[in-house]
Amino acid sequence: MQLQLTSPLDMHLHLRQGEMLKNITPLSSKTFSGALIMPNTVPPITTKEMVKNYRDEIVEAAKDGTFTPYMTLFFSNSYNYEFLQSIKDDILAIKLYPAGITTNSEGGVNSFDIETLKETLEAMSQLQIPLCIHGESDGFVMDREAEFIPIYKQLATAFPKLKIVMEHITTAASAKAVLEHDNLYATITLHHLYITLDDVAGGMLQPHLFCKPIAKRPEDRAALIDLALNANPKVMFGSDSAPHPKSAKEAPGCAAGVFTAPIALQALAQLFEQHGKLENLQAFVSDNAQKIYNITPPKKSILLEKKEFIVPDSYGEIVPFLAGKSLQWSIQ
Ligand code: DOR
Ligand code: ZN
C-alpha cells in the first residue's frame, strides 16, 4: 500500500540556532514543503532584521528549494501599526507566550488585560496577521490549558477579525472551544495524538515525552484524535517538534520538548490507517493549513509506503519520539 501526500506542512516547528539548526533543518525540509518557525530563540525574534537573518539561516541549512520557512515574530504589546505594516510581508504570524510558561519565553506577556494588548491586536487584525498562542495559565499543571480557555474566548470575541490559533491543544475542553468561535483555529501535535500522562509518568519517568503542555487524560487524547483524524477544517498539523540534546533531557531539570519532525509523517500515516482515516491525512497535514493561513506552499510530493521503519535511537545528540520503535509506514 502507498499514500501520496502533496506539500505536507508543519505549522508549529522549533528549529533552534547554530549547529543544532544546521543539523535538524534538513530533517524537516526533506519531507515538508513548509513550516511555521517558532521565534523562541535566544534572544527571541523581535525585529525585521532578526526575521530576515533567521530565515536566511534556515533556507541555507534546508538545502532544498521546495521548503518554505514561514516566519513568526515573538509577540510584544509594544508593536504598533506602523511597525507591523513594515514587517507584514516577512512574517506569516505572531506567536504569543505567557511570560515564563515554557522554553525561552521569559520575555512573554505578563497580562492578558485587553486594554494593554489592544493597540497591537487591533493592528494585527487590520493587517490580517494571525496570532498564535501558547495557551497556558500559571496554575496547576494539569489545569493550565483549561484555565486559559476564557482568555482565548475573550480575545476571539474582542477581535472578531483576528485569526487566533490555539497552539498544540491537549484537552477535550480546547477541542470543544475551537469550534465555538469562527476566528479560532488550532494545531495538534503528533505526540498528543499518541500519548497520555500515563506514558510520561505512569511508569518509569520518560524524559523524552516531557513537554509543555504536558500530555493529559485518555478522554482528552480521544477528543484530539476525533478532530485530527476527521480533518476538521479548524485544525491542522503542527508538530511542536522541539529538540533538546540528550544531556538536557536525561538530566535533573529535564527540558520540555518532544522531537518528532523526522518521523511525523510515518507515525501519522500509521495512526490514520489504524483508524481507517488515511484519506483524511492530506487535509490534516496540508490542505487545512493552506486555507487557514491562505498560503500556497511549494509543490512537493511525498510517497509513503506500508513498509517497516525502525525509528533511529538518535539523530545526532537528539533522541526522537518513538526511538527504537517499529512503525509500519516509511517514506520512499
Ligand atoms: O515542550 C515544549 N518545548 N513546549 C514549548 O512550548 C516550547 C518547546 C521548546 O521550545 O522547547
Ligand atoms: Zn512550540
Q: Tell me the DSSP string of 270-292.
A: HHHHHTT-GGGHHIIIIIHHHHH
Residue 258's SS3 state is strand
Mean pLDDT of 275-303: 98
Mean pLDDT of 224-249: 98
Residue 201 neighbours by CB under 8 Å, 6+ apart: none
Measured on CA atoms in the order 257, 261, 263, 267, is the torsion positive or negative?
positive
On whether the CB atoms of residues 236 and 284 are closer than 8 A, the answer is yes
Which of 164, 271, 199, 182 has the alpha carbon at shortest distance from 228? 271
Peptide bond into 43 cis (omega under 30): yes
On whether the CB atoms of residues 187 and 235 are closer than 8 A, the answer is yes
On whether the CB atoms of residues 55 and 34 are closer than 8 A, the answer is no
Q: Where are the domains of the chain?
A: 7-301
Interval between CA 154 and ligand 2 midpoint (Å):
23
pLDDT, tens only, 184-223: 999 999 999 999 999 999 999 999 999 999 999 999 999 9
**Cell numbers at 215, concatenated:** 500530555
Given a cut of 90, whether residue 64 has pLDDT beyond it is no
Mean pLDDT of 19-43: 98
User: How far is it, in rounded angstroms, from Cα 297 to Cα 9?
Assistant: 8
On whether the CB atoms of residues 266 and 326 are closer than 8 A, the answer is no
Which of 311, 241, 251 has the alpha carbon at shortest distance from 29? 241
pLDDT, tens only, 97-151: 999 999 999 999 999 999 999 999 999 999 999 999 999 999 999 999 999 999 9
On whether the CB atoms of residues 313 and 324 are closer than 8 A, the answer is yes
Q: Indicate left, alpha or beta for 214 from its phi (over 0: left) and psi (-120 to 50: alpha).
A: beta
Question: How wide is the angle at C-alpha 81 spanned by C-alphas 180 and 179, nearest 5°?
Answer: 5
User: How far is it, in rounded angstroms, from Cα 24 to Cα 37?
Assistant: 13
Catalytic residue among 182, 220, 226, 240: 240
Report the pLDDT value the prediction gives residue 129, as an integer from 0 to 100.
Answer: 99
Report the pLDDT value the prediction gives residue 146, as an integer from 0 to 100.
Answer: 98
Strand arrangement of the beta sheet that strand 301-310 belongs to: 2-6, 301-310, 326-331
User: How far is it, in rounded angstroms, from Cα 256 to Cα 266?
Assistant: 23
Nearest ligand 1 atom to the CA of 257 is 1
Report the pLDDT value the prediction gives residue 224, as an integer from 0 to 100.
Answer: 98
Mean pLDDT of 282-290: 99
Interval between CA 242 and ligand 1 midpoint (Å):
6
Residue 290 neighbours by CB under 8 Å, 6+ apart: 7, 9, 296, 297
| 240 is an active site residue | yes
Nearest ligand 1 atom to the CA of 244 is 11
Fold type of domain 7-301: TIM Barrel (3.20.20)
Q: Which residues line ligand 1 (CB under 6 A)?
A: 14, 40, 102-103, 134, 211-212, 242, 256-257
Q: What is the mean pLDDT of the chain?
A: 98
